[in-house]
């Protein structure tokens, strides 16, 4: 969805947000005598009753292992499990057999990294030849990545002898696309980058980066953890080879994530985890593996979590992802403008000329992020503090940590205003204390 198209979408009304909030019992909580203002959805979102009920209904009515039994409960569980896969596939624009269940996005990235590593060792045979990496090959990522989309590539480079290259940031925090064009060459085998920065909140120029990768003949992995919950997502339209997402950031439970992979690539990838449920024939010395996606789903599966994640994407779809995106875009601008107007506050990435989601990270001169987070918590305002698993980005911008406020479909105008007022109050409090 372009910026122009987004501007034409009506955001959620106040009445709609209030109705949505009724589906989230935790939002009625009080913290330190104040109503909870939850602005940490970028780390973990809250869950509506529909998601809680879906997981409970499975546990109390049809709990059973999938793909393993002929009895009624097993058949019902398997059907719901695969229906959940289909729901998530539709949500991201993929085919059913292109969605692999994982425990989280971190596991999904590691699945791809280890599959490429195993292919490089000759596992997978001639079919996996095109996936092999070695000395002279290059992997490209960026300086703004979450550690989960950086460290697996460091390790893959170490195991294979390939070279890891990093697209740098400018002084504002935006990707240096001019440098990216120089780094992504015929030696590049994989380009891995985040769709939305979990620190800056900016929506990266996917088309430009994918275009550079395609020109070089490289594969593309997209970290969609901060985009899938907040924006309409179509992995086929984006033309990426892999995408990862995490359920707990998009109204779902913890312990469930997903990998999207092009069917043609999943078919030639050797497995990452091995054991039961991903094999056809086993002897004491050999094994033959199931086709994807089951090839990558060893062991007992995350059945109730997958079913709950399907309920979450159904909930998001019913509200409407374009309207959620418009709702949060307004909050993103409001946070940047409101916080930037406070003397002594530096909003990271405020000057980047790109659309953004409802997230802002900021540094307050003379106040450590942990102290600021505690002050806001005393007011019932929940925010994130620290380096947000993005130390290279913070280091590039000259700080060690920041405070992050992140919104979602259940966030209200009053809560955003409370954060801005709370930061101003904290500055006054700490300066008077000094």
List, for residues 12-68, the tens digit of each pLDDT value.
999 999 999 999 999 999 999 999 999 999 999 999 999 999 999 999 999 999 997
Q: Report the CATH number that the domain containing residue 381 is assigned in CATH.
A: 3.90.1150.10
Whether 33 and 59 share a structural domain: no
Q: Please say if the pLDDT value at position 202 is more than 70.
A: yes
Whether 381 and 394 share a structural domain: yes
* Domain housing 7: 3-41+320-433
CA pair distance 323, 161, nearest whole angstrom: 46
Q: How confident is the model at residue 4 (pLDDT cuts 50, 70, 90)?
A: very low
Mean pLDDT of the chain: 96
Three-class SS of 212-250: HHHHHCCEEEEECCCCCCCCCCCHHHHCCCEEEEEHHHC
pLDDT value, residue 343: 97
pLDDT value, residue 69: 79
String of DSSP letters for 248-281: GGTT--TT-EEEEE-HHHHHHPPPSS-STTSEEE
CA pair distance 38, 382, nearest whole angstrom: 5
Two tokens, residue 76: 């019902």
Burial of 90 (0-12, 13-18, 19+ CB in 10 A): middle
| Percent residues over pLDDT 90 in the chain | 96
Within-domain flag for 397: yes
Last residue of a domain, one of 269, 292, 317: 317
pTM of the prediction?
0.96
Whether 123 and 81 share a structural domain: yes
Whether 313 and 324 share a structural domain: no
* Cα 406 → chain centroid: 13
Q: How confident is the model at residue 9 (pLDDT cuts 50, 70, 90)?
A: confident
pLDDT value, residue 423: 98
CA pair distance 164, 157, nearest whole angstrom: 6
Within-domain flag for 184: yes
Do 335 and 420 form a contact (C-beta atoms < 8 A)? yes
CA pair distance 77, 424, nearest whole angstrom: 52
Q: How confident is the model at residue 1 (pLDDT cuts 50, 70, 90)?
A: very low
Do 190 and 116 form a contact (C-beta atoms < 8 A)? yes
CA pair distance 191, 230, nearest whole angstrom: 23
Whether 276 and 342 share a structural domain: no
Last residue of a domain, one of 272, 288, 317: 317
Q: How confident is the model at residue 313 (pLDDT cuts 50, 70, 90)?
A: very high
Q: Please say if the pLDDT value at position 434 is more than 90.
A: no
Whether 92 and 222 share a structural domain: yes
Q: Please say if the pLDDT value at position 8 is more than 70.
A: no
Average pLDDT estimate for 351-378: 97
Count how many domains the chain has: 2
Do 184 and 192 form a contact (C-beta atoms < 8 A)? no
**Residue in 389, 399, 421, 430 annotated catalytic:** 389
Q: How confident is the model at residue 5 (pLDDT cuts 50, 70, 90)?
A: low
pLDDT value, residue 68: 77
Q: How confident is the model at residue 7 (pLDDT cuts 50, 70, 90)?
A: low
Average pLDDT estimate for 105-128: 96
Helix (H, G, I), strand (E, B) or coil at 115: helix
| Percent residues over pLDDT 70 in the chain | 98
Within-domain flag for 47: no
Whether 233 and 279 share a structural domain: yes
Average pLDDT estimate for 232-259: 98
Q: What angle do CA 287, 292, 297 make, to 5 degrees?
A: 75
Whether 208 and 302 share a structural domain: yes
Catalytic (active site) residue 225: no
Last residue of a domain, one of 296, 317, 338: 317
Q: Please say if the pLDDT value at position 6 is more than 70.
A: no
Whether 258 and 325 share a structural domain: no
Whether 150 and 289 share a structural domain: yes
Q: Where are the alpha helices (DSSP H) in 105-160?
A: 105-120, 151-160
Within-domain flag for 46: no
Q: How confident is the model at residue 70 (pLDDT cuts 50, 70, 90)?
A: confident
Do 228 and 203 form a contact (C-beta atoms < 8 A)? no
pLDDT tens-digit profile of 381-432?
Answer: 999 999 999 999 999 999 999 999 999 999 999 999 999 999 999 999 998 8
Q: Report the CATH number that the domain containing residue 226 is assigned in CATH.
A: 3.40.640.10
């Amino acid at each position: 969805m372009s910026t122009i198209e987004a501007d034409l979408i009506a955001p959620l009304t106040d009445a709609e947000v209030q109705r949505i909030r009724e589906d989230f019992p935790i939002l009625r909580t009080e913290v330190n005598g104040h109503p909870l203002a939850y602005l940490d959805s970028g780390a973990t979102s809250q869950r509506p009753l529909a998601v809680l009920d879906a997981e409970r209904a499975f546990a109390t009515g049809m709990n059973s292992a999938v793909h393993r039994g002929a009895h009624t409960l097993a058949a019902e569980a398997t059907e719901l499990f695969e229906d959940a896969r289909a729901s998530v596939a539709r949500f991201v624009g993929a085919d059913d057999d292109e969605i692999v269940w994982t425990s989280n996005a971190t596991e999904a990235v590691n699945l791809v990294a280890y599959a490429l590593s195993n292919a490089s060792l000759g596992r997978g045979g001639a079919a996996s030849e095109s996936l092999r990496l070695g000395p002279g090959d290059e992997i490209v990522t960026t300086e703004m990545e979450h550690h989960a989309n950086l460290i697996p590539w460091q390790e893959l480079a170490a195991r294979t002898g390939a070279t890891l290259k990093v697209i740098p940031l400018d002084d504002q925090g935006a990707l240096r696309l001019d440098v990216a064009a120089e780094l992504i060459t015929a030696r590049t085998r994989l380009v891995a980058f985040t769709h939305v920065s979990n620190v800056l909140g900016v929506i990266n120029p996917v088309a430009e980066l994918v275009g550079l990768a395609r020109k070089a003949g490289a594969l593309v992995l997209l970290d969609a953890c901060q985009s899938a919950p907040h924006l309409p997502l179509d992995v086929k339209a984006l033309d990426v080879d892999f995408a990862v997402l995490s359920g707990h950031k998009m109204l779902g439970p913890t312990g469930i994530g997903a990998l999207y992979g092009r069917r043609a690539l999943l078919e030639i990838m050797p497995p990452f985890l091995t054991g039961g449920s991903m094999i056809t024939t086993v002897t004491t010395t050999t094994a033959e593996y199931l086709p994807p996606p089951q090839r990558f789903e060893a062991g007992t599966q995350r059945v109730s979590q997958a079913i709950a994640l399907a309920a979450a994407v159904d909930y998001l779809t019913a509200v409407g992802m374009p309207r959620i995106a418009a709702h949060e875009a307004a909050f993103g601008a409001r946070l940047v403008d409101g916080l930037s107007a406070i003397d002594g506050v530096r909003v990271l990435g405020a000057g980047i000329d790109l659309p953004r989601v409802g997230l802002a990270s900021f540094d307050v001169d003379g106040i450590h992020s942990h102290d600021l987070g505690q002050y806001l918590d005393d007011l019932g305002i929940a925010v994130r503090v620290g380096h947000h698993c993005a130390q290279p980005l913070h280091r590039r911008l000259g700080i060690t940590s920041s405070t992050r406020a992140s919104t979602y479909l259940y966030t209200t105008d009053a809560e955003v205003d409370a954060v801005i007022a709370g930061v101003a109050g904290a500055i006054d409090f700490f300066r008077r204390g000094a």
